[in-house]
A and B are shown apart, each in its own frame.
Chain A
Amino acid sequence: MSSTNLNKAVSPEAGPDATPQAHDSASSKSSGWAVFTFFMIGFVGSLLAGWILFPELLYSQKNQPIDFNHAVHLDAVTDGCDSCHYFREDGSFSGMPDLAACEDCHQEAMTDNPEEVKFVEEYVTPGIEVPWLNHSKQPDCVFFSHAAHVQGADMSCASCHGDIGTSEHTRVYEENRITGYSRDIWGQSISRLGKPGPGDPRPMKMNDCAECHEDETGHKGACFQCHK
């Protein structure tokens, strides 16, 4: 009696070799299923935490200082994106317009829109540059030439930045708490599977650059092509 008890007690840990009796194999089989079930619960739980909870923790959310309406501006200007995001003669790209460029039109509020009134009161009147959050900011070691892509390869702004020109509100800026970069660089999909939808900005990691270069030009290029 006592020896049977002993056998049962050791069987789950000692494995099949330690339980020669036939009537014990059934109980070890059922406990094996229990272990497997608990393992799977833990495994799936960790995966869910990793894929759903972790991104929530990884990214902090910020709003742009002004809720900018691209659609309204795109209707009002004559030169499309180039009206505010223009190339200089030396080939450098102006990027986000500075306050002086905005002041060309917004010396005073043109409408009753609360965001515009806020913009004029908080930034234009005291002469403070708007601290826009840049979704596409790259690390210091990256050399990106807008001229090569837009002037040289005739690419549209939307092919990388998405249909930002038709947006009526600014998006939430999600900042990686560890690296400080925007979530747009990694891409919205945390697993980086699948392609971004039409109108969505494209992810901008090095692999994304290399992939497109390989497709379009047949080679990834040398390091110095995109690094400085």
Chain B
Amino acid sequence: MKEKHSNTPAKRYGMIIDLDKCTGCGACMVGCYAENNIPFKPDETNKLDSINWIRVFKLTNHKPYPETEICYLPMPCMQCDGVGKHGHSPCVSVCPAVATDYNYDTGIISQIYTRCFGCRYCMAACPYHARKFNWWDPVWPADMEKYLSPNVSPRMRGVVEKCSFCFHRYQLAREKAYMEKRTDLAEGEYQTACADACPTKAITFGDLNNKDHAVYKLKNSPNAFRLLERLETNPKVYYLTTKKWVRKAGDNYLAHEEPETLKTRIKEHH
């Protein structure tokens, strides 16, 4: 597999989600549903077969009142880079149909619905449950089909779908750049729908390789952590929190383990 797709410097688009700012309102989910033509069922009470590209989880510190604390954790696709940033993400490496690949220009993992045949290996491989399966053909109530976005192809029964970091927005931003004879995009030109929808600006999106982008500094914050870091999936979605118990919920720690000491160990290992 080629490790380069173009001659321009590679970007690594990533997301920083500030959990201290997230109120759990779910606007990111709503924005994502509308942006990406995500199908839904008439009755969404059974969350096991719900489809969502970003999902807000509720965490609690399991302490009785008055120490009870709640934290909301939005989870899009983590767009894993894999060890050594070689695009060896869990889902890409197991797909037998090459329906999902790693884009070396942007670091974004694609999902091609017409190529996918629904074996769901990727769903089994993904440690973040970011991938969802279409058990049915989408059915849109009344005239809603007319409101679907032409920029995102709707999925059919029997294929897997997942968050694309709104890749179509990247494509459209690039079209405008071509018109203006530019090769690079400004930070604000390509933002995901969830980042746009967030009322508290908890979600920051940008190029992790670009020093001028807000995410570049935020990812190096001492409050930053990623989910299941020990698996070395190397996700491009970072979380910020000042609360220790939230950080501890980000991985399966033993009673005596502390996230801080563990982080050092992983760094030493590589």
Q: Assuming the A-B contacts A224-B108, A227-B112, are A91 and B153 also in contact, with contact meaning beta carbons closer than 8 angstroms in the complex?
A: no
**Considering the chains assembled together, what is the distance between the CA atoms of A73 and B5 in angstroms?**
40
Which A residues between 200 and 228 are near B, CB-CB below 8 angstroms?
217, 219, 221-225, 227-228
Which DSSP category, helix, strand, loop or mixed, fits chain B's interface?
loop
Q: Is A87 interfacial (CB-CB < 8 Å)?
A: yes
User: Is A152 an interface position by the 8 A CB rule?
Assistant: yes
B179 touches A141 (CB 8 A): no
- Chain A residues with CB under 8 Å of B175's CB are 90-92, 145, 147-148
Nearest A residue to B109 by beta-carbon distance?
A: A224
> A225, B168: Cβ atoms under 8 Å?
no
A145 and B153 CA atoms in complex are apart in Å by 15
Q: Which of B112, B177, B179 has the most CB of A within 10 A?
A: B179
Structural contact, A222 and B105, CB atoms closer than 8 A: yes
A98 to B: closest C-beta gap in Å: 16
Inter-subunit contact B113/A222 (CB<8 Å): no
Asked if B241 is at the interface (CB within 8 A of a chain A CB), the reply is: no
Interface SS of chain A: loop
Closest A residue to B4 by beta carbon equals A219
A13 at the interface (CB under 8 A from B): no
Contact (A222, B172) CB under 8 Å given A140-B154, A141-B153 = no
| B113 proximity list for chain A (CB < 8 A) | 141
Q: Output the least CB separation between B183 and chain A (Å).
A: 9
B153 cross-chain contacts in A, Cβ below 8 A: 140-141, 228
Number of A residues, CB within 8 Å of B: 23
- Which residues of B176-191 have CB atoms within 8 Å of chain A's CB atoms? 176-179, 181
Cβ A141 vs Cβ B114 within 8 A: yes
Bound-state CA distance A145–B151 (Å) is 12
Q: Which of the 9-residue segments B66-74, B96-104, B133-141, B230-238 touches chain A?
A: B96-104
Chain B nearest CB, measured from A140 CB (Å)? 4
Q: Are B152 and A223 in contact (CB under 8 A)?
A: no
Of A147, A223, A228, the contact of B151 (CB 8 Å cutoff): A228
Does A54 sit within 8 A of B, measured CB to CB?
A: no
B152 adjacent to A222 (CB under 8 Å): no
* Contact residues in A for B103 (Cβ distance below 8 Å): 222-225
Known: A147-B179, A219-B4, A219-B5. Is A224-B110 also a contact (CB below 8 A)? Answer: yes
A91 touching B176 by the CB < 8 A rule? yes
Could you say which residues of chain A place their CB within 8 Å of the CB of B4? 219
B179 contacts A91, C-beta separation under 8 Å: yes
Contact mask for chain A residues 132-159; partner B; CB cutoff 8 A; 1 contact, 0 none: 0000000111010101100110000000
Q: In the complex, what distance in Å separates the CA atom of A89 from the CA atom of B115?
A: 33
Q: Give complex CA distance A147, B171 in Å.
A: 10
CA–CA, A217 and B108, complex, Å: 20
* Contact (Cβ within 8 A) A148 B2: no
Q: Are B112 and A141 in contact (CB under 8 A)?
A: yes
By the criterion CB–CB under 8 Å, are A228 and B167 in contact?
yes
Q: Is the pair A151, B181 in contact by a Cβ cutoff of 8 Å?
A: yes
- Contact in complex: B178, A145 (CB < 8 Å): yes
CB contacts (< 8 Å) of B179 on chain A: these are 87, 89-91, 147, 151
B174 contacts the other chain (CB 8 A): yes
Task: Tell me if B164 counts as interface (CB < 8 A to partner A).
Answer: yes
What is the distance, in angstroms, from A142's C-beta to the closest C-beta of chain B?
A: 8
The chain A residue sitting closest to B180, CB to CB, is: A91
Determine whether B6 belongs to the interface, using a CB cutoff of 8 Å to chain A: yes
Within 8 A of A (CB), among B99-137: 100-106, 108, 110, 112-115
Docked pose: A147 CA to B101 CA in angstroms: 24
Q: Contacts of A225 on B, CB cut-off 8 Å?
A: 5, 103, 105
**In the complex, what distance in Å separates the CA atom of A221 from the CA atom of B102?**
11
* Bound Cα distance A141, B99 (Å): 13
Q: How far is the CA of A225 from the CA of B103 in the complex (A)?
A: 8
Residues of B contacting A228 with CB < 8 Å? 151-153, 167-168, 171
22 residue pairs bridging A and B, Cβ less than 8 Å apart: A90-B179, A92-B172, A139-B114, A140-B154, A141-B112, A141-B113, A141-B153, A145-B174, A152-B178, A221-B6, A222-B103, A222-B105, A222-B110, A223-B112, A223-B115, A224-B108, A224-B167, A225-B5, A225-B103, A227-B110, A227-B114, A228-B152
Q: Which 5 A-B pairs have the closest CB atoms?
A: A91-B175, A222-B103, A147-B178, A224-B110, A91-B176
Residue positions of B touching A, CB distance < 8 A: 2, 4-6, 98, 100-106, 108, 110, 112-115, 151-154, 164, 167-168, 171-172, 174-179, 181
Given contacts A91-B177, A151-B179, A223-B100, could you give 9 more A-B pairs where the C-beta distance is less than 8 Å?
A91-B178, A148-B174, A148-B175, A222-B103, A223-B101, A223-B112, A228-B151, A228-B167, A228-B168
